[in-house]
Amino acid sequence: MNTRFSDGDTVRISHRDDERHHRVPAYVKGHHGTIVRVCAPQVQPEMSAYHKPGEPMRTVYRVRLDQNDLWSDYTGRKSDTVEIEIFEHWLESVNHAP
């Protein structure tokens, strides 16, 4: 399977607004995370929710995010994380300067 991202890649979850049904919770939009698993391609929810074929299918990635980055008032351990599955078209590359 040819995928855009690999395990260990740092990504940003797009912060765009989308009035249609989509599977990206508002609390993760705009945040950075790390790919921890490449999952199987799935039908796009933005289309299938409206009785359309939802193709082409899109790769889904499991992304790990630090809870301290998600919530400024988080009082748990610094090592606490959240993992969420996000469709590829909602992920952006994060380029690191050398």
What span, in angstroms and rounded, lies between the C-alpha atoms of 56 and 65?
Answer: 27
Structure tokens at 72: 């400024």
pTM of the model: 0.83
Architecture in CATH for domain 10-93: Roll (2.30)
Going from N- to C-terminal start, the domains of the chain cover 10-93
Residue 32: which H helix or E strand, with range? strand 32-38
What's the pLDDT tens digit per position in 44-77?
777 666 677 767 788 999 999 999 999 999 999 9
pLDDT of 98 over the 50 cut: no
| Average pLDDT estimate for 28-55 | 83
